[in-house]
Structure 1
């Protein structure tokens, strides 16, 4: 049974473990409820805002213990962003819902930046512009430009390409040749990596972001 889409899988899947999806989730912003069985936006449902309810001890315990085959009914709104933040592919792929919850996207981006294999896994998923930017940033930091071609839109190009590590000088040099529009981002990376010669060769136009990078 698929509680998210209110349907049955056919053919039936064997060993379909319980995944703790019966928690009454509420949100700080107005959005369609996760489990709107009555299709009235849970108008009559009782609950407490996430910021006002106590943290579920069972969910806290599962933050540092392996997930059970049959996950108990817990507040997954805590487990999902933490799995994304740490870049844990197995936990996140199992816990996540069809649509992201409040605060999940920043955690996903953080996990991509810090975990190369999490970025590789997301490369196989249907993604948004913000996630693609994070993925391509992680690939640049890994000195991998194989993804960049003439069909790569400028909207997918990352802004931050020097954290949590810096790429090698040849990578930034080749990136500036392949996509001159990324010169400002490369210049900021050169400032943070202390690549003085490459920075001088870029002849980047000064802007407020370069000044801030120099101050750091």
Structure 2
């Protein structure tokens, strides 16, 4: 069944669609993680910091598993212990090194002083902020001008699917940009080489 599901993903179907068609949820996401590992292995690295309330650790774990399977480095303070290091310094370093900041805003997360502190740090570092907001929760005023991703508490995976697709699109665009830059550099080198060859040939002909 795993191979069939992987084939279905290659045809463009999402895990949510396959679950709706009657495939077991656990098997679908097992196949999805395997498919992600196979199809994203060559993409540029991307790091995200996932800000959350401790009360939402079960949701965070699901998100971490799926994002990591897609080759995305996920910084979660609790999952990367650094004994002896000041927590504030550790968090600030993780956010500074991240490409994107994901704010998990649930009923608990919205009120969490840690989440609000981390959002402030992300804004200070000018990091792109992606709010993941639980249905029924009002985003704070300072995030209401941003587009948000809504998720259901009992089915966060569906929203994470879209998030992975979005982040992998960014990674593909980075790969294209790097390739174009490399090709442009090679083209410039080739032009310089041809120019030098022309000058050398001209100088040789004058000597003759």
| TM-score normalised to structure 2 length | 0.31
Higher relative contact order (CA closer than 8 Å, sequence separation 6+):
2
Structure exhibiting the larger radius of gyration computed from Cα positions: 2
More strand by share: 2
| TM-score normalised to structure 1 length | 0.30
